[in-house]
Amino acid sequence: MAAGKYGDVIAMRRTLKPKENAAHADLLSRAYVMKGNALMEEELPKRGALSGPLFKQAGENYAAALKIKPDHHEALNNWGRALKFQAFTKKEAAADRLFKKAYEKHAAALKIKPDYHDALRYWGEALSDQAHYFKTGAAADRLFKQAYEKFSAALKIKPDDDETLYIWGRALSDHVRSYSRRHPLSAQARRKMPATTGAIPFRIRRTRRPGLWPTGCSSRPERNLLRH
């Protein structure tokens, strides 16, 4: 299916017979996945202005794809990603619920396709993002540890997956920074910080405030976002 043609296929859904024709089912379910992907790609560049509705709409399209083809592992995996990004628009308790749902989608994708390294990578990324942006102390440590297990499992399937290596390296860096924040000297350093964030170079400014898209976020969600 050519990019951008998913709308035409969805418009034809009343004339297609997905229950009787496997090819029709595959075509229509893929069209819904591509629409969901497009909605995520539309929302992501907003970064600091994320509000979440398009991520929710993306999830609805993945759900539609799965209603037609329940074993569509890509729909489950990308739905997990949409839920993770939606979590960034919420405060901690609501975000935790969305992260939990995201992990369930990745797990379901892997149940269908056990060697699906993309699902393991993105599951690990979600765990490390939840740890870094929403948790501290032992809770963050547990999530980082789980993330490393997912990255390791992904690399056992595809050892040359440079994206997984990059995300794992970033997670380790975030984990190290979380320890530096807990160190007694960290409090002294914060007291010596400039009074306004404007004096801090943008590239190193980050926030852990739940409910906001992280300023200066290093997760680079626009890069290699989706697998059609």
User: Is the separation of the CB atoms in 189 and 113 below 8 Å?
Assistant: no
The rounded distance, in Å, linking the Cα atoms of 63 and 76 is 8
Amino acid identity, position 99: F
How distant, in Å, are the alpha carbons of 71, 75, 79, 133, 158 from that of 6?
A: 20, 14, 17, 35, 30
Burial of 52 (0-12, 13-18, 19+ CB in 10 A): middle
User: Is the separation of the CB atoms in 85 and 226 below 8 Å?
Assistant: no
Task: Tell me the pTM.
Answer: 0.74
In order along its 228 residues, the chain shows pLDDT tens digits of 445 575 555 555 555 555 545 666 677 778 888 888 998 888 876 655 556 688 999 999 999 999 988 999 999 999 999 999 999 988 889 999 999 999 999 999 999 999 999 999 999 999 999 999 999 889 999 999 999 999 999 999 999 999 999 999 999 988 888 876 655 544 544 454 444 344 333 333 333 333 334 433 334 333 333 443
Question: Per the structure block, which two tokens stand in for 25?
Answer: 């089912």
Domains of the chain listed by start with CATH number: 6-204 (1.25.40.10)
User: Is the separation of the CB atoms in 143 and 100 below 8 Å?
Assistant: no
Contacts of 219-224 with C-beta under 8 Å, sequence gap 24+, read 219/125, 219/129, 219/170, 221/44, 221/85, 222/41, 222/44, 222/45, 224/163
